[in-house]
């Protein structure tokens, strides 16, 4: 098989791309040199309307895989539904994560080294949902009206924040393992400076994995997918270099952090099961007061934090695994099984994790929840005092008469 090159002319001796459809549908047969603009027009896409903003060009459209252009244009109502979902998630996700960021920054009790990693995760989630404005605009216009600029913004920011989020979760899982399995090993506990260095290394790692498609080296680039309103790796391409990059990215951004997280939680579970009986006996011998009580409360706190991180990790894998499967289907030659709606739905689910994480913090993080309660009580009392009517002169005189 050969991949289409971005050329506006159709070759006189075009080699046909024939793909065996293992999913039972009609097989795809297209020239290797296909005029994508003409193919899109033939299938009902409003190509001329996309060009009105001046950002979408025929050159950019040539990077669309013929597989996507061979599907009929989706109804405009589908675009509006997608725009509505992303608008809702952008508003909820941005406001929720921004609230978490402000709470973490304004409260000194939350500025512990381990909590700085949670702050980094909230920043990453904020950027993840903020860039949804590109797919909202494209969906309203029914196609890639933002052109290569919108595609690069969406693809690059999604890749960077997704990698940063999962690697941050892996680092948090390692920190929870250290605090629960080796609570007395102070030499290996994170300091504030170490956390800053690790956060910088996480962003550097994410940028290294995301910069190649942004630059477009060796045909590795971000291209439109599905309904052509979002962008991702060119996983429908038959180019060997492109396939190697995507498989390597999958290993670096999914398999490795997954192994680290599973290994950390396996050790946590094993440690907790092995020390539960011993801890209960020790607590009984020391009595209800004293250092045993303090140690038990701290252990319960660490376990609550570990459970919260576990919930966030599970949510991340549930949200991103469907999209990873779709990508691997394209890379491994099952392109005939991939259709536009199959990429759109996992793309929407991916944003759900970034939207729900702030609520998980609010419900599960003990310090965060206590600060929210105190903050709400203070504001409630202040508002109640402000709503009370001021003392009149008659009331003041009556009060003075009683106490004279």
Taking a C-beta distance cutoff of 8 angstroms, is the pair 328, 14 a contact?
no
What is the predicted pLDDT for the residue at 391?
43
Buried/exposed code over 86-105 (b: 16+ C-beta within 10 A; e: otherwise):
bbebbebbbebbeebbebbe
Q: What is the mean pLDDT of the chain?
A: 79
Out of 1.10.3720.10, 1.10.1740.10, 1.20.1070.10, 3.40.1180.10, the CATH code matching 72-275+293-381 is 1.20.1070.10
pLDDT band at 180 (very low <50, low <70, confident <90, very high): confident
- pLDDT reading at 71 higher than 80: yes
Instruction: Convert the pLDDT of each residue in 340-361 to its tens digit.
Output: 988 888 888 888 888 888 888 7
Are 301 and 342 contacting, i.e. CB atoms less than 8 angstroms apart? no
Do residues 25 and 119 lie in contact, with contact meaning Cβ atoms separated by under 8 Å?
no
Give me the mean pLDDT over the 257-269 stretch.
88
pLDDT tens string 273-296 = 766 545 544 544 554 444 445 556
DSSP string, 215-248: HTGGG--EEEETTTTEEEE-TT---HHHHHHHHH
What string of DSSP letters covers 109-128? GG-SHHHHHHHHHHHHHHHH
Average pLDDT over residues 33-55: 88
pLDDT at 14 over 50: no
Closest to 117 (Cα-Cα) out of 24, 199, 189, 38: 199
- Taking each helix axis from N to C end, the angle separating 192-215 and 240-250, rounded to the nearest 10 degrees, works out to 160
295 or 196, greater pLDDT: 196
112: left (phi over 0), alpha (psi -120 to 50) or beta: beta
Higher local confidence (pLDDT), 63 or 27: 63
User: How much is the pLDDT for 186?
Assistant: 62
Residue with tokens 């939207």: 355
Block residue for tokens 């404005």: 133
């Amino acid at each position: 098989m050969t991949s289409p090159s971005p050329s506006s002319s159709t070759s006189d001796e075009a080699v046909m791309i024939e793909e065996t459809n293992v999913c039972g549908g009609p097989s795809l047969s297209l020239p290797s040199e296909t005029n994508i603009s003409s193919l899109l027009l033939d299938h009902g896409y409003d190509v001329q309307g996309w060009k009105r903003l001046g950002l979408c060009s025929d050159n950019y459209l040539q990077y669309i895989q013929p597989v996507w252009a061979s599907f009929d244009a989706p109804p405009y109502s589908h675009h509006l539904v997608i725009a509505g979902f992303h608008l809702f998630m952008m508003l909820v996700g941005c406001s929720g994560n921004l609230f978490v960021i402000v709470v973490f920054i304004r409260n000194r009790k939350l500025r512990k080294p381990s909590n700085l990693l949670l702050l980094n995760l909230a920043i990453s989630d904020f950027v993840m949902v903020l860039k949804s404005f590109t797919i909202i605009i494209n969906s309203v216009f029914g196609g890639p009206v933002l052109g290569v600029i919108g595609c690069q913004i969406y693809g690059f920011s999604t890749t960077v924040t997704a990698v940063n989020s999962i690697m941050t979760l892996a680092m948090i899982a390692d920190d929870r393992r250290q605090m629960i399995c080796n609570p007395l090993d102070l030499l290996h506990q994170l300091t504030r400076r170490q956390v800053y260095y690790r956060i910088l290394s996480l962003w550097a790692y994410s940028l290294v994995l995301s910069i190649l498609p942004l630059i477009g080296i060796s045909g590795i680039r971000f291209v439109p997918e599905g309904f052509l309103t979002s962008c991702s790796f060119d996983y429908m391409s038959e180019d060997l270099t492109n396939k190697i990059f995507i498989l390597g990215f999958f290993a670096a951004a999914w398999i490795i952090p997954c192994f680290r997280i599973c290994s950390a939680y396996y050790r946590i579970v094993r440690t907790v099961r092995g020390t539960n009986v011993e801890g209960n006996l020790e607590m009984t011998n020391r009595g209800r007061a004293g250092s045993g009580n303090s140690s038990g409360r701290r252990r319960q706190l660490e376990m609550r934090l570990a459970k919260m991180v576990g919930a966030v990790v599970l949510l991340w894998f549930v949200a991103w695994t469907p999209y990873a499967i779709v990508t691997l289907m394209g890379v491994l030659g099952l392109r005939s099984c991939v259709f536009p709606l199959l990429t759109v739905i996992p793309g929407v689910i991916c944003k759900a994790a970034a939207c729900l994480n702030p609520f998980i913090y609010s419900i599960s993080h003990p310090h965060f929840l206590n600060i929210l309660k105190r903050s709400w009580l203070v504001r409630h009392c202040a508002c109640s005092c402000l709503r009370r009517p001021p003392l009149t002169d008659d009331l003041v005189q009556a009060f003075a008469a009683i106490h004279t």
